[in-house]
Structure 1
Amino acid sequence: MKNLTTTFSFYLVFILFFLIYVRFNGLIFDAVSWDEAAYMTTGRDVANGLIPYKDFLELKPPLTFFLFSIPSVFFDDSFIAFRLYGYLFLYLSSIILFYIVSENHKLNLAVLFVFLFIGIMNYHFWLWNTSELITLPFILLSFLFLKQKSFFYSGLMISLATLIRINYCFTVIFIIFFLAYKIYRKEMKFIYLYRYILGGLIPLAIFIIYFYYHGALLDFKISNFDIFLAYSSENTFFSGIYNFFKAIFKLNYFYSYVFLPFSILLIFSLFGVKKDDYILRIYILSISLSIILSGHSYSHHFIQLIPFLIIFIAQTNFDWCNFTNRFKNFLLYTSILITFFISTFSNYKFIKEGKSIKSYHLYNKILTVIPAIDSNTKILALDYQIITWKYKSPRMSKITHTPSLFKKTTKTRIKPYVRNGIFDENYLDHLLNAKPEIIICSVRICEESRKSYEVEKISKLLIGYKEIYREPNVSKWEYTKTGTIIIYKSVN
């Protein structure tokens, strides 16, 4: 037993070193990420005592903000610490995945599946912190506890996951129906369903009490129910299916050296699963359905599926007994080696250039071109919100996700707030009259005249401002897109 524990611990250290090695470029990669900057801002807001939905609006469940407040408590303005915090969740997910997969395979093969997971998660648009990333340990633990028939803890974990990503409510519904069916077939006692529901209600009850105490219960309900329905209804079910498979195609096309071997491996596994794992199928099906129903299918939504697809692949035979299995092993090793070699090249380049990590971050460069900036400077960041986070600039809007301020869909999404007197319907007019000293924008929002944006109001906003700086090709956006940041300064 002692030797087994020592061996298991060795693999956990091995996984940690592999993760740090291949993920190191994520500390350098300063991307124009709307979500990450919003989480950095809302995390600090919660750490400073602000109440979600009442003092600021961000359409994510509440546990998201509280988890992202932890880096702000200890490292208030450290971009690197915030990234490393996300690595912690990736490592925890890797440990749980390793434990799950090791039940079917030897440890030396189980660790390869974890390396495959880490390699896939190294896709450039998944290097920064997302709600999908920090929810993985909770949703994986809910799966593990359910498999072990620890229903209370499974319900507790999936409740925490749902309080980070609301789409897991589909998984909850599927599991409750599955357990009810088992009870109907007399294959399970009702007490197990009761424990599952009880475990799930405890975190929700705590947040209900919290928001009731702070007079924000209606705000909580609207943000997590009404707005979720409005967001999901923006696309039809068929367009959701189309966007789902289009995203899969793009991932395989633009990140083919890792995703394509993984996809082929997944296809081979469809014909080689040894057992009927209904619980695993429920998780994969319900998460896939929730992505489809959201209608958007952004690539980072698929982060939620990756560990479960790897568990599915790991349930097949990988013995070197025939050509099919040898080919599957070839794909597995190829994906890992490609990730390793690409990371080696990136790390070698970093060492050779001899620069500090901070020197690669765009915000340090931009701060030098904005004159006389401090915490009192009124900055409206329609893109690249890291600047406002870094300098703790005063809020220009209650809406944290500022890139969506001038989106046409935002008007529809906030209607429940307007109806209940929580938010002013003319918020854009107030913003136009606020006269910030600095506006940070991008070609994407301020120059391309996209149909999804209020182009005329953006043009009106920029009257009385002059461009003082432009940084092209700052980082990759989804797939191959790049961003160009523009800094405007008031001439008045």
Structure 2
Amino acid sequence: MLKKANLYLTFNYQALDWKTVFLILFLIAFFIRFPFFFRDYIDRDESTFIIMGQSWADGYLPYTQLWDLKPPITFLFFALVIKIFGKSFIAIRFFGTLLVVITSLFTYGIAKRIVSKKVGFWSAIFCVFFLSMFGSLQGVMSEHICTLFFVMGVYLLLFKESMGWFFVVGILFGLSVMSKLNMAYPLLTLMAYWVWKAVTEKRFWHSFQQLGILGIGFLVLIVLTATPYYLQGEIQIWWGSIFEAPLAYAGSKQHSIVKTLPFVFVVAILLYIGFASKVIDFKSKPIQILTIVIVGVLFSFMQTGKVNGHYLIQLYPFILIPAGVAVSKLPPIKKKYNILIASLLILLPMEAYLEYTNVISNKMEKGSFYNGEGVDIPNYIIENNVDTKNIFFTEYHIGYWVLGKNPPTKAVTHPYNIQREELFPFMQNARKTGIQELQYIMDVIKPKTIIVREAERIYDEELPEFNFYMNLCLARHYTLTKTIGRGLIYQRLEGQ
């Protein structure tokens, strides 16, 4: 076994080509992510993206029928998958796997050109790991989409010189920003670096031509996202939803920049140590560009005031490369430790092993690989002919998609958007406050069936008025008919 481990860790990296690396990355990513193909929902945001994508596949532009706080390219990804493959968790999660694989492949491409194929290979392997494990990363997040386009853009920016490629880079950066708006920060820091290099290296005119072509590509993509709205006379909802709403949301949040400083400080210190010790060559232009992108992403975290696990997807490809460079400068690992390293790599995707067990157990107990309340509750509703007129999911809202229903109002497309009152004006919403929206749903629409997760605390603890009102409505007008896992199914009493 020791000999096998040695062979595994010391094979001929120079023989690697793009196809071989792609295949290896795909097999690893598929193995890690496959058991999650059958999970009902992995993150509330992913469920919302699916619902928004379905609405677009049905012919409704984002923000017109349903609403969520993300740019339209994120929803387009889901809409295309649904339009081609129908309602398929497997298709959505499979193409999410491809996002991870292609992002990691371009990470390999950047690292192998900067350092070596060996560093590129292991940077890509760990990119697959970090983009697929821990928390909600097994789902398909907007960060997976925007990071793919940005990594591709950085690769072309580093290694392509013709003006045509700069136009393509502009398109890719536009796709990235129109998938998640905070990618504008690393784009701005990158463009500032480009101008600084143009001035210091006295190639002002050539660099500004490049930036001009890149900017045209970026603007073309922005215009393309606006065109369908313009043709339907909905340009204001496009502008408000994509640009004004995020600013209003960011301005309303009380997240302190101090909360992000420990993480930012650790990353900055590690980079400084690498540069000061000359383990990482800061004079290298590609390393400088990667560092500038990292700075831009970190600045976006500071502006947001928090660092969620899925936010780090935007950072991993860029930081893994200088990390790989630094590790490659360390003394070679003794062969006797190879078996230990191989064992650690095998144990790393422990979440996947546990989920394989969960999937098999669910198949044995319930006869289906698909699992979770977001699947079990709709199945119960279908099998028992439960009334779904104006059904209201305060949790497990992927159930709307499974049942072929829509949320009762735009404001609850994502269940927690009802708490974000600062966003209501951009939804073209008639109600001004979350409690008014809740009263409209419960007293006017009067959903026949309501699904909640915790009867005592349906919304955040910071919203006692919401919880009091909902619990009062449930007590007066509804009866609990079924508990499935942590999900509670309430049905409206006759005559209420």
Do the two structures share a fold, i.e. TM-score over 0.5?
yes
Where 2:348 maps in the other structure, the secondary structure is helix
Name which of structure 1's ranges 118-127 and 442-451 shifts more when overlaid on structure 2.
Answer: 442-451
CA pair 359-352 structure 1, distance change in 2 beyond 3 A:
closer
Looking at structure 2, the residues matched to 133 and 399 of structure 1 have their Cα atoms a distance apart, in angstroms, of: 25
How big is the shift at 1:456? Answer: 3.2
Give 1:158's aligned residue: 173
Give 2:281's aligned residue: 274
CA pair 78-144 structure 1, distance change in 2 beyond 3 A:
same
Where 1:396 maps in the other structure, the secondary structure is coil
Alignment-mate amino acid for residue 257 of structure 2: G
Which of 234, 257, 261 aligns to 1:240? It is 257
CA pair 423-354 structure 1, distance change in 2 beyond 3 A:
closer
1:37 aligns with 2:47: yes
TM alignment of 1:177-256, pairs within 5 A: 177-185=192-200, 186-188=202-204, 189=206, 190-236=208-254, 239-243=256-260, 245=262
Alpha-carbon contact 1:42-1:65 (below 8 Å) kept = yes
Looking at structure 2, the residues matched to 47 and 375 of structure 1 have their Cα atoms a distance apart, in angstroms, of: 25
Which of 51, 54, 73 aligns to 2:64? It is 54
Unpaired stretches in structure 2, ≥5 consecutive residues: 1-12
How big is the shift at 1:320? Answer: 5.8
Alpha-carbon contact 1:379-1:439 (below 8 Å) kept = yes
Looking at structure 1, the residues matched to 139 and 271 of structure 2 have their Cα atoms a distance apart, in angstroms, of: 26
How big is the shift at 1:280? Answer: 0.9
1:146 aligns with 2:153: no
Alignment-mate amino acid for residue 187 of structure 1: R
Which of 388, 392, 413 aligns to 2:400? It is 388
Alpha-carbon contact 1:90-1:133 (below 8 Å) kept = yes
Unpaired stretches in structure 1, ≥5 consecutive residues: 250-261, 473-483
Alpha-carbon contact 1:265-1:313 (below 8 Å) kept = no
Looking at structure 1, the residues matched to 111 and 368 of structure 2 have their Cα atoms a distance apart, in angstroms, of: 35
How big is the shift at 1:304? Answer: 0.9
Alpha-carbon contact 1:156-1:200 (below 8 Å) kept = yes
Alpha-carbon contact 2:248-2:422 (below 8 Å) kept = yes
How big is the shift at 1:15? Answer: 1.5
How big is the shift at 1:200? Answer: 0.8
Give 1:135's aligned residue: 146
How big is the shift at 1:209? Answer: 2.1
Give 1:439's aligned residue: 450
How big is the shift at 1:488? Answer: 1.4
How big is the shift at 1:213? Answer: 1.0
Alignment-mate amino acid for residue 202 of structure 1: V
Name which of structure 1's ranges 155-164 and 108-117 shifts more when overlaid on structure 2.
Answer: 108-117
Which of 15, 31, 48 aligns to 1:21? It is 31
Give 2:409's aligned residue: 397
CA pair 351-54 structure 1, distance change in 2 beyond 3 A:
closer
Offset from partner CA, 1:279-318 (integer Å, 9 cap, x none):
1112111111112212243221111111111122123351
CA pair 90-50 structure 1, distance change in 2 beyond 3 A:
same
Looking at structure 1, the residues matched to 185 and 191 of structure 2 have their Cα atoms a distance apart, in angstroms, of: 10
Where 1:440 maps in the other structure, the secondary structure is strand
Offset from partner CA, 1:425-470 (integer Å, 9 cap, x none):
2433321221111111122884576114622332344231122233
Give 2:191's aligned residue: 176
Looking at structure 2, the residues matched to 265 and 348 of structure 1 have their Cα atoms a distance apart, in angstroms, of: 38
Name which of structure 1's ranges 228-237 and 10-19 shifts more when overlaid on structure 2.
Answer: 228-237
1:301 aligns with 2:311: yes
Offset from partner CA, 1:47-74 (integer Å, 9 cap, x none):
1110222222111111111111012112
How big is the shift at 1:329? Answer: 9.3
1:360 aligns with 2:376: no
Alpha-carbon contact 2:122-2:324 (below 8 Å) kept = no
Name which of structure 1's ranges 445-454 and 36-45 shifts more when overlaid on structure 2.
Answer: 445-454
Where 1:30 maps in the other structure, the secondary structure is coil
Aligned pair count?
A: 460
Alignment-mate amino acid for residue 427 of structure 1: E
CA pair 461-393 structure 1, distance change in 2 beyond 3 A:
farther
CA pair 62-346 structure 1, distance change in 2 beyond 3 A:
closer
Offset from partner CA, 1:58-110 (integer Å, 9 cap, x none):
11111111111012112322222222121121111121112112224443443
CA pair 427-75 structure 1, distance change in 2 beyond 3 A:
same
Looking at structure 1, the residues matched to 232 and 372 of structure 2 have their Cα atoms a distance apart, in angstroms, of: 38
CA pair 58-66 structure 1, distance change in 2 beyond 3 A:
same
How big is the shift at 1:214? Answer: 1.2
CA pair 345-206 structure 1, distance change in 2 beyond 3 A:
closer
How big is the shift at 1:357? Answer: 5.8
Where 1:469 maps in the other structure, the secondary structure is strand
CA pair 318-326 structure 1, distance change in 2 beyond 3 A:
farther
Which of 480, 483, 490 aligns to 1:488? It is 490
Alpha-carbon contact 1:465-1:488 (below 8 Å) kept = yes
1:464 aligns with 2:477: yes
Tell me the C-alpha RMSD between the 2 structures: 3.5
CA pair 30-111 structure 1, distance change in 2 beyond 3 A:
farther
Name which of structure 1's ranges 34-43 and 52-61 shifts more when overlaid on structure 2.
Answer: 52-61
CA pair 196-107 structure 1, distance change in 2 beyond 3 A:
same
Alpha-carbon contact 2:186-2:297 (below 8 Å) kept = yes
Q: Indicate the structure (1 or 2) with the bigger Cα radius of gyration.
A: 2
CA pair 349-32 structure 1, distance change in 2 beyond 3 A:
closer
Q: TM-score, normalised by structure 2?
A: 0.82
CA pair 50-398 structure 1, distance change in 2 beyond 3 A:
same
Identical-residue share of aligned pairs (%): 19
Alignment-mate amino acid for residue 67 of structure 2: L
Where 1:399 maps in the other structure, the secondary structure is helix
Give 2:294's aligned residue: 284
Where 1:126 maps in the other structure, the secondary structure is coil
Q: TM-score, normalised by structure 1?
A: 0.82
Looking at structure 2, the residues matched to 448 and 429 of structure 1 have their Cα atoms a distance apart, in angstroms, of: 15
Alpha-carbon contact 2:66-2:413 (below 8 Å) kept = no
Offset from partner CA, 1:227-250 (integer Å, 9 cap, x none):
11121123357x13315647999x
Looking at structure 1, the residues matched to 339 and 430 of structure 2 have their Cα atoms a distance apart, in angstroms, of: 56
Alignment-mate amino acid for residue 214 of structure 2: Y
CA pair 283-242 structure 1, distance change in 2 beyond 3 A:
same
